[in-house]
Amino acid sequence: MDFFDRQAAAQKRTGLLVFYFILAIVCLIALIVVAVSQIAGIPWNDPQLLGYVTLGTIAVVAIGSLTKIAELAQGGRVVAAMLGGEPVTPNTTDPQEKKLLNVVEEMSLASGVPVPEVYVLNDNTINAFAAGHGPGDTAIGVTRGCIDKLSRDELQGVIAHEFSHILHGDMKLNVRLIGLLNGILCVALIGAFVMRIFAYIRVDDGGSSNDGDRKNGMALTVAVFLIGLAVYIIGYIGVFFGNLIKAAVSRQREFLADASAVQYTRNPDGIAGALWKIGKFESRLSSPHAEEASHLYFGDGLAARTFSFFDTHPPLEDRIRAIAPNFEPPAELDRPPAPSIQRSSAATQPPPLPTQPVTTAETLERTLAGAAALLASVPDFALSNVRDLHGAIAFVYAMLLDERADYREAQLASIGVDDAMRREVMGLYNRRSEIPLPQRLPLIDLVVPTLRQLSPDQYATFRDNVHKLIAADQAVHLFEFALQKTLLRHLDLYFTRQTGASVKYRTIIPLLPSVQTLLSALAYIDHPDPAQRDAAFQAGAQQLMINASSYPMTRVDGCDLNRVDAALDETAQAAPQVKRTILAACREVVKHDGVVDTQQYELLRAIADSLDCPMPPLPPVTE
C-alpha cells in the first residue's frame, strides 16, 4: 500500500467514523424526544417536538464540534500546548533534547515529511504523541521520561511509531474524533446548565392569592428541571458510546503504527523495549486534558480503567508479542541510559541510498539509515547555522547567491540587509563549496523548524527577500525553483494557516496538458540526446494509459519553470488516486536510463511536494 492508498484508506475510515457518530446523534435525538414526551405529556410523534429536538440537538453538536475543530485548526502545536508541552528549539543545549531532535530530523529526512515542531511534556512517565491536520502542521510531543529513560534505539522506535500516524493520515481522523466527542459532550453540558438554572428558581405568589398559577409555575419548573436532567444523562450516554467508538478505532491504529515502526527502523527490539519500559515506569500524563486526547498517545495516558473496552490502546503484552514475539527484557533497569547526543551509529558505514525515487511508503525503511548517514556527513558549520534563527536566514540567502560577482552584488543590494547579515551571508557563501549539491536541499528542509520562530512580519520580509534574490539574477534555476516549492510552501502553510488545495479533478483527462508539461521538463534534464529524451518521455506517458501520439513531448520553450509552476498548480487539485498516476509517470521518466541526476530528483521532489506526497529529499547515489 503506497502513500495515496493510505490517503484513500484514511478517507474511508473518516467516512465510517462520521457514519457511527451520525448514528449516535440519531439515537440521542430519539432518547431526548422520548424523555421530553414522557415528562411534558406530549405525544412523541408531535411534529413540533420532533422538529425542535432534532434541530436543537444537531445545532448543539455541530457548534460544539466545529468550535473545537476550529480551535485545533492552528495545527499540532495547539494540542501540544493544551497538554502542557514546552517547545524544543533547534539550537537547544540540553543533551537529551538534542538526541530527540536528531532522531526526529533523521525520520523527517527519510520520509520527506517537513520536520515537525517538537515539544517536551514535564512528566517522568514514558509517552509521546503526534498531532495536527497533516504533515505540514504536525507537532510531536514526548514526555521528559521518554527521553531520559529510553535508549536511542527505543526512542527511534517511538518516533517511528508517531511518524506512522502522520503518514497513514491518522492525525486528521484524531482531530475529528476530538471535535465530534466535544459536540456530543455539549449536549450533556446544556442539560447540566438547564438543571443549575432551574434548581434555584423559587416560585412564589408575589402577593397573589392565585394558588393555581403558583402550582402551575412550580410544575413547569420541575418539568424543565427534569428535562434538563434527562438531557444531561442522555448526553453522557452519548459520550459513553462515543468513547467506545474512539477506543475501538484507536486500538486498531496502534497495532498498525507499531508494525510500521518496525518496518521503518528494522529494529523490533527498539519499540518493544520502549513498550516494556512503559510497563515499568508507566505512561500516565498529568495534564487535565489527558482524557480529551487519550487516543493520540503512544501509550495509554490515563489511569487504569475498570472496563477494558474503554482502553484506547491494546494491552502492552499484546503489542510486544505482535512485533517481537521473542523479545527478552533487559536484565536490569535500575539506571537510565546514559545521555546520548551522538549521531546514529548507522553513520559509521553509510548504506547506499535508493537507486530510484519512490513514494514514502516504499522507501522509508531503506532511507532512514541514509538520512542518518547524511546528517553525519554534513559539515558542522552548516548544521549549526540551520539550527540558529539568524544563521538559518543567512544560510538560505547564501544558497541563493549567484556565482557571478556583479549579479551577486545586485542580489545583496536588492534585499538591503545590514552589514552584520551581509558578512554572515558572504561567509556562508564562501564556504558553500564545502556542502555537496546533494546535501543542500536536505539542509533547506532542516531550516523549516528554525524559521517557524519568525514573527509573521519577519517572515513576510524573509519571503520577500527570497523572491528578490531569485529575481535579481534574471533567471530561475532548478534549485531555486525546488526551494520555492518546498521551503516557502511549507512556511506559507504554517504562517497563513491555509489548507491544501481542494479536489477539482477526479480523472486525469483534463490534466493531460499539465502532465505533458511535467513529463517533458523532466525528460529534458540530463538527456542531451533527442532519442533518449523522447524514450524517457514515452516511458512516463505509458503510465497514463493514453495514446502518446495525442500528447507528444512539449518543445523545450514550452516547459520552462514558469509553465511547470502553472502545471503544478493544476495537478495539485487532483484526487489522490490521480496524483498517484501522475507521480508514477514522473518517476518513470526519471529512472528510465537507470541513472538519477540530482537536478532530476530535485524537480521530482518539488512535483511530489506540490502533490502533497512526502518524498525523501535524498538524491540517490549514481554509479
The alpha carbon of 272 is separated from its chain's Cα centroid by a whole number of angstroms, namely 24
Element (H, E) at 120: strand 117-121
Q: Which of 531, 546, 526, 530 is nearest to 591 (CA)?
A: 526
How far apart are the C-alpha atoms of 64 and 546, rounded to whole Å? Answer: 48
Q: Compute the CA torsion angle 506, 509, 514, 520 (nearest 10 deg).
A: 130
At residue 543, does pLDDT exceed 80?
A: yes
* DSSP β-ladder status, 128-131 and 139-143: antiparallel
- List beta partners, residue 505: 574
How far apart are the C-alpha atoms of 10 and 12, rounded to whole Å? Answer: 5
Q: What confidence tens digit (pLDDT) does each residue in 159-174 have?
A: 999 998 888 878 877 8
pLDDT interval class at 5 (50, 70, 90):
low
Q: What are the φ/ψ torsions at residue 30 (nearest 5 degrees)?
A: -60, -45
pLDDT interval class at 568 (50, 70, 90):
very high
Query: Grid coordinates 514514502 are at which residue?
Result: 360
Q: Which of 100, 172, 97 is nearest to 130 (CA)?
A: 172
Query: Which residues are marked as active site?
Result: 162
Report, as an integer, the average pLDDT of 146-171. Answer: 90
Cα dist. 280→276, 300, 328, 518, 545 in Å? 7, 13, 14, 54, 56
Q: What confidence tens digit (pLDDT) does each residue in 450-459 have?
A: 999 999 999 9
Phi-psi region of 498 (alpha: psi -120 to 50; beta: other; left: phi over 0): beta
Is residue 590 within 8 Å of 520, Cβ to Cβ? Answer: no
The b-or-e profile of 19-34 (16+ CB within 10 A means b, else e) is ebbeebbeebbbbbbe
Query: Grid coordinates 411534529 are at which residue?
Result: 47
Beta-strand ranges (E) seen in 483-548 are: none
Q: What is the pLDDT of residue 495?
A: 86
The b-or-e profile of 368-389 (16+ CB within 10 A means b, else e) is bbbbbbbbbebeeebbebbbbb
Report, as an integer, the average pLDDT of 19-35. Answer: 85
How far apart are the C-alpha atoms of 172 and 606, rounded to whole Å? Answer: 24
Question: What mean pLDDT value characterizes the chain?
Answer: 82
| 3 state DSSP class of 325 | coil
The DSSP symbol for 330 reads -
Query: Grid coordinates 534555476 are at which residue?
Result: 477
Element (H, E) at 369: helix 360-377
Q: What is the pLDDT of residue 346?
A: 37
Is residue 299 within 8 Å of 127, Cβ to Cβ? Answer: yes
Q: What is the pLDDT of residue 2?
A: 53
Half-sphere exposure of 107 (CA within 13 A, CB side): 31
Most distant pair of Cα atoms in the chain: their distance: 106
Q: What confidence tens digit (pLDDT) does each residue in 498-529 have?
A: 666 688 999 999 999 999 999 999 998 877 88
At residue 349, does pLDDT exceed 60?
A: no
Q: What are the φ/ψ torsions at residue 128 (nearest 5 degrees)?
A: -160, 165
Domain ranges in the chain? 3-73+174-257, 76-172+266-323, 378-496, 509-610
What fold, for 76-172+266-323? Zincin-like (3.30.2010)
The DSSP symbol for 334 reads S
